Amino acid sequence: MVSALALSVAVSRTLGAEALGLQSLLSYIQGFVLNTFVLSLSQAGIQLLSRARGADDRAALHWLRRWSLQVHAIVGVVLAGLLLGLGGLRDESPLLWGVIAGTALVDAVAYAFTVRVVTYDGWARVSRRRLVSQGLGPLLGVAAVLGGLGITGVFVGQAVGSLYLLVALLVLQRRVPRAPAGGPRPPVAPVARVWLGFVLTLALTQVVERRVELVFLDLFSGARQVGLFSAAFTLVSVAVAASAAVTGAAMPAVARTHAAGGAQQLDVLVGRALRVLAAGSPVLVVGLVVLGPSAVVALYGPGLADAGPLLRGLALVLLAAPLAGALAAVHLGVGRVHVVVRAGLAAAATDVGLCLALVPALAAAGAVVASVTAQVVYLSTLVLASRREPSTRSLRPSLLLRPLVVAAAAGGAAAVPAALLAPWPAVVVGGALFVVVLAAAARVLRPLGAEDGRWLAEVLPGPLGRLLPAVSRR
């Protein structure tokens, strides 16, 4: 996300807000088809293979590995063709759409090998290589923009990062032990149902969480409004990405624990994770509300200062998105895909309806209202569906009182330099004050419960983990 932020800044400052809007729109289209049809297949494969491992079903393991690779390749070819066809209907160059389509095919094959490695070896090795790939692509895009290659160069950089990941995964998957052949092939219908559930879930996620508002802004308001909304959304996405990464990485463990009959252990772990996410969300929101407008001007320049108020509104997404992502990951991990689909349908209908109603008149401000409201509907629907679960019942409004006071104290301290100083000094001085006051207030008020603090201290690495007892109740 940091390199993606650098890319959006480079595009905006070098090519202008309209170019940022076009790059954001094309990235959204590419991501929509890839996440809906390829990432869904990967998540279904990880869950099915993890479940087969938990049940020690070797015949299912052998068949699912072959099925996953074949279907990933077929879907990649189909999506590449569809993207080329879509490019023929738009005004951009055929070369640009050829690069986008080729990258989708490479990513589809790379995701197939991701399924194998993650199921047998966890996320650690894959995540390190994905970190290189997803950081390298945008940074190469920055170099291409500064070198005069325009928007096409941005997507060429992404293609190079995807090729690196494919080669790295080809090497990694050679370490995965072979599953012995033999035994009857598992029924196809249950496998297809799991994949379809993930397709629906991720398609709805692209509407609710991944900037479908860009499409409506492109239709009704023009490229500049797309660019303003994209700049604000990118900064918020940096914060959302942290919780999304954690919840996504947890899904294989959820599936294995559930298959092995560890329901009680799962309830305890999920409850702790939900309470920690709820306690951290106010801190992220207050930080972005206070320092976000200064950060927008510091990064993107005065030409995108109008994105500052949009960022303050979009920051409210962080009150719902981390908890919603965690609850969705749990339901998906234990096979209750229908719960996530229903929540996604309600949120998507809200998002699209509000975009149609508000964007023509309010432009990017209407898109902000639609995005925040859809996230609240998504979380509310998931909480209602989980209200009888022990993990969800532990979420009480009183849990937010201490975190809110801590966040308010830090935000009040950072608001002074944010109001008085130029953008860059405001971000640096205000950010430092925010962290210092946050740590001091947390030391006094101890916003985390004792058990939750001990659990988080074990999860977080190095010095971060050692600091947790100081802000947890005894």
CA-based R_g, the chain, Å? 22
Task: Give dist(CA 79, CA 100) in Å, integer.
Answer: 10
The separation between the first and the last C-alpha atoms of the chain, rounded to the nearest angstrom, is 36
Question: Is 387 strand, coil or helix?
Answer: coil
Residue 205, amino acid: T
Per domain, the residue ranges of the chain are: 2-395, 399-474
CA-CA-CA-CA dihedral for 325, 328, 334, 338, to nearest 10: -160
Backbone angles phi, psi at 301, to 5 degrees: 95, 165
Does pTM surpass 0.85? no
> Average pLDDT over the chain, rounded to whole?
83
Q: Which pLDDT score is estimated for 248?
A: 54
Percent of the chain with pLDDT over 90: 34
Q: Does 249 have pLDDT greater than 60?
A: no
Q: Which pLDDT score is estimated for 172?
A: 85
Q: Which pLDDT score is estimated for 470?
A: 63
Q: Does 195 have pLDDT greater than 60?
A: yes
Question: pLDDT tens-digit profile of 96-129?
Answer: 999 999 999 999 999 888 887 887 777 778 888 8
- The pLDDT of 178-188, averaged and rounded, is 61
248 class by beta-carbon count within 10 Å (0-12 exposed, 13-18 middle, 19+ buried): middle
**HEC letters along 116-152:** HHHHHHCCHHHHHHHHHHHHHHHHHHHHHHHCCCHHH
Q: Does 273 have pLDDT greater than 70?
A: yes
pLDDT band for position 78 (cuts 50, 70, 90): very high
pLDDT band for position 179 (cuts 50, 70, 90): low
Q: Is the dihedral of CA 85, 91, 94, 96 positive or negative?
A: negative
Q: Which two tokens stand for residue 15?
A: 């090519």
Task: Give dist(CA 198, CA 181) in Å, integer.
Answer: 27
Q: Which two tokens stand for residue 89?
A: 């209907």
Question: pLDDT tens-digit profile of 395-416?
Answer: 777 777 888 999 999 999 999 9
Question: pLDDT tens-digit profile of 33-63?
Answer: 888 888 888 888 887 777 777 777 777 777 7
Task: Give dist(CA 310, CA 299) in Å, integer.
Answer: 15
Q: 417, 443, 242, 224: which is closest to 326 by C-alpha?
A: 242
Residues with Cβ within 8 Å of residue 323, at least 6 apart in sequence: 274, 277, 278, 281, 379, 383, 395
Q: Which pLDDT score is estimated for 339?
A: 86
Task: Give dist(CA 114, CA 104) in Å, integer.
Answer: 15
